[in-house]
Amino acid sequence: MTVENITLKDPMTGARASILAGFGFNCYEFVANLDGRKVDVIWSAPDFSSENERPSGSGIPLLFPFPGRLRGTAFEWEGREYQLEAGDGRGNAIHGFVLNRAWRVIERSDSHVVGQFQASVDDPTLLEQWPADFRVTATYDLKGNCLTSTFVFENPDSKSLPCGFGTHPYFRLPLGGTTVESCVVTIPSTRHWELVDMLPTGRCTDLEMSDAYHQGLCFGEMKLDDVFGGLVFDGDDCVSQIFDPESNTRLSMRFDRSFRELVVYTPPHREAVCVEPYTCVPGTVGLESPEVDFGLRVLQPGESFTSRVELEVS
């Protein structure tokens, strides 16, 4: 039996996280507890748990088999054309198929949950819209004030599977203080992808004043919907942080080397910032080029890959 709305709790700190299994396995709430002070980390629309809100506009939407926009609504793969639905208001398909569909809960405990979505099982109509079947298994673990998510992507088909993955977290601002303008956001990147009409041109240039992005940008001066590359890793992890100087609270997002781009978006409501790890450049299907590496993954039958993201409040 599928559990629609799941709440995880850490017994030691009292931290909690809520995941909407029936609507994209979206983690739409993560509340840390710092010595009795609750810190609400994830922004979501007040009525999001009713499943009536825009699926990409709250919580942590999961974007697969393509994150971001595709160019238009049709693409060709191995001699066949596939038709998708427009969804961005500009005539482009956007953000994949799994963020607004019901997932199956296959394992659960008080602080741990595993969900799964497979196209052929959970929505066979998708097999006409994408070159191959796919299976995604997502795990959330809450320990202390750290929420760890792991994702396994598999090709169970007999055909090749082009794909990319991204998470789209809405991080609430401020983190316990009273003003969003003074919050600081670090962007660990050295490169910047050019976009025209929100689609990549293939041109990637050095990021000017990258040291300032690494040290942190003041949110009051940020207005972005940009794609950054050349991520800076320390060992196996890349780290982006949000710091609220008024409350002395820090949110650290660590993610592994399966990711290679960051999309950074400041929503118009200015109540959150989105720092989004992607495994590829948005719109990568249909942009294959021998001159440019967009990061498209092509899983052969039986192949898989894994991604990990950790959120920790301190």
CA pair distance 221, 214, nearest whole angstrom: 15
pTM: 0.96
Which tokens belong to 118? 């497979």
Reference 242, options 151, 314, 300; nearest CA is: 314
Q: Kindly give the pairing relationship between strand 272-278 and strand 62-63.
A: unpaired
Burial of 211 from C-beta contacts in 10 A (0-12 / 13-18 / 19+): exposed
Burial of 86 from C-beta contacts in 10 A (0-12 / 13-18 / 19+): middle
- Verify cis geometry, omega within 30 degrees of 0, for the bond prior to 65: yes
Long-range contacts of residues 70-79, Cβ cutoff 8 Å, at least 24 apart: 70/94, 70/283, 70/285, 70/286, 71/199, 71/283, 71/286, 71/287, 75/285, 75/286, 76/286, 77/131, 77/162, 77/285, 78/131, 78/159, 78/160
Tell me the per-residue pLDDT of 137-158, one tens digit each, with 9 for 90 and over: 999 999 999 999 999 999 999 9
Q: Which domain holds residue 300?
A: 5-313
Tell me the per-residue pLDDT of 286-298, one tens digit each, with 9 for 90 and over: 776 778 899 999 9
* Domains held by the chain: number: 1
CATH code: domain of residue 47:
2.70.98.10
Tell me the per-residue pLDDT of 229-268, one tens digit each, with 9 for 90 and over: 999 999 999 999 999 999 999 999 999 999 999 999 999 9
Helix (H, G, I), strand (E, B) or coil at 160: coil
CA pair distance 279, 42, nearest whole angstrom: 22
- Verify cis geometry, omega within 30 degrees of 0, for the bond prior to 131: no
CB–CB of 185/214 below 8 Å? no
Tell me the per-residue pLDDT of 57-106, one tens digit each, with 9 for 90 and over: 999 999 999 999 999 999 999 999 999 999 899 999 999 999 999 999 99
